[in-house]
Structure 1
Amino acid sequence: MTVHKLILDDAFEEALYTLIAIHCNLEDYRLAYLLNKHLGITLSRKASDIDYNNGQVSYSIFEWEDHKQLVTWSLVSNICKTEELRETDYKSLFDNQEKITKIFQLLPEHKTVNYFLKIDSAFSFSKENYILDSILKIPQIATAYSLDSSELKSKDNLIFN
């Protein structure tokens, strides 16, 4: 019996997108408003958040599809904080449960980033420097920079659809 080997290197092309990391202390809706105002886009909150770990961890997402330029803009939170109650081991007169806050990241290799702006394009997107300059002009944003998606370990978390 002969063995057939299939090579799929060319079958799956790497998705073309620009990823911008944003550091700020703003709420997600406020950041989306400021990006809409300064970039001339129309980000709006999606009906459902991105859920991981069977719905235990969720990240807010804002999205806008530019049908003229065939570009999809996504603003997603990198940080999710959850609280859970844990029974204490010691005896006490008072409440024997304590709240524990757990912090999860969408991209764990970038723990300090608050938000990611992902710009999906069917073609190469050449306005990256203009977008970064416009974002950095917003006074409430501490810093923003572009990330190389080929170096990400958990790039599968950036597949939103």
Structure 2
Amino acid sequence: MAIHKLVLDDVEADLYTLVAIHCTLEDYRLAYLLNKFLGITLTRKPSDLDFNNGEFTYSIFEWEDCKQQTLWSLAKNVCKTEVYRQGNNNSLFNLQEKTTKINYLLPEFKKVNYLLKIEDQINLSKQKHILNSILQIPQVATAYSIETNQLKSKDHLIFS
């Protein structure tokens, strides 16, 4: 009797395109401008991406293109949280020090402000058109594609 062995490699390897966006805009403003320049309809999801039981949350906007059967997701890469800790105990007053803790959705890309994930294999000409459209936005400093095989934290990009 023959033995059939199925080997499943990383199925999710290159089934999406990832675009890094550098800009200092608020997330809702960037989503509005992407909608305007790309002709899409990103809307904010009711719940943010949650890591460590609400300790780190990242805003996310999504749009499902029914014609092309693709899902577009815009996620913030930076999460800033304020942490209060007890100050010097030798003081007359009870002081608390406020420090800001910064975490990243993709730690290997710390300078990237936003990530645009398109869950579909896009050809090179369409990818260039999307990048050129994003670069037309005056408030965007730069945008470029990220090779998904370089990512160490791919599991952070599973939004659903």
Length-normalised TM-score, structure 1: 0.91
Query: Is the aligned partner of 1:125 residue 2:122?
Result: yes
Give the superposition deviation at 1:55.
1.1
**2:18–2:146 contact (8 Å) kept in structure 1:** yes
Which amino acid is 1:37 matched to? K
Give the superposition deviation at 1:148.
0.3
Q: How does 1:8-157 map to 2 (within 5 A)?
A: 8-10=7-9, 12=11, 14-121=13-120, 124-126=121-123, 127-157=126-156
Which amino acid is 1:144 matched to? A
**CA distance, structure 1, for counterparts of residue 23 and residue 102 of structure 2:** 17
SS at 1:16 equivalent: coil
Length-normalised TM-score, structure 2: 0.91
**2:14–2:149 contact (8 Å) kept in structure 1:** no
Cα distance per residue 1:119-152 (max 9 Å; x no partner): 002xx31211000000001100000000000110
More moved, 135-144 vs 92-101: 92-101
**CA distance, structure 2, for counterparts of residue 18 and residue 52 of structure 1:** 23
**2:13–2:149 contact (8 Å) kept in structure 1:** no
Does the C-alpha gap of structure 1 residues 11 and 37 become closer, same or farther in structure 2, counting only changes over 3 Å?
Answer: closer
Paired residues, what number?
Answer: 156
Which amino acid is 1:125 matched to? I
**CA distance, structure 2, for counterparts of residue 89 and residue 7 of structure 1:** 61
Give the superposition deviation at 1:6.
5.3
**CA distance, structure 2, for counterparts of residue 130 and residue 29 of structure 1:** 23
Which amino acid is 1:72 matched to? L
**CA distance, structure 2, for counterparts of residue 83 and residue 92 of structure 1:** 23
SS at 1:100 equivalent: strand
**CA distance, structure 1, for counterparts of residue 83 and residue 39 of structure 2:** 40
Does the C-alpha gap of structure 1 residues 6 and 82 become closer, same or farther in structure 2, counting only changes over 3 Å?
Answer: farther
Give the superposition deviation at 1:7.
5.1
Give the superposition deviation at 1:96.
1.6
Counterpart in the other structure of 2:157: 158
Does the C-alpha gap of structure 1 residues 90 and 40 become closer, same or farther in structure 2, counting only changes over 3 Å?
Answer: same
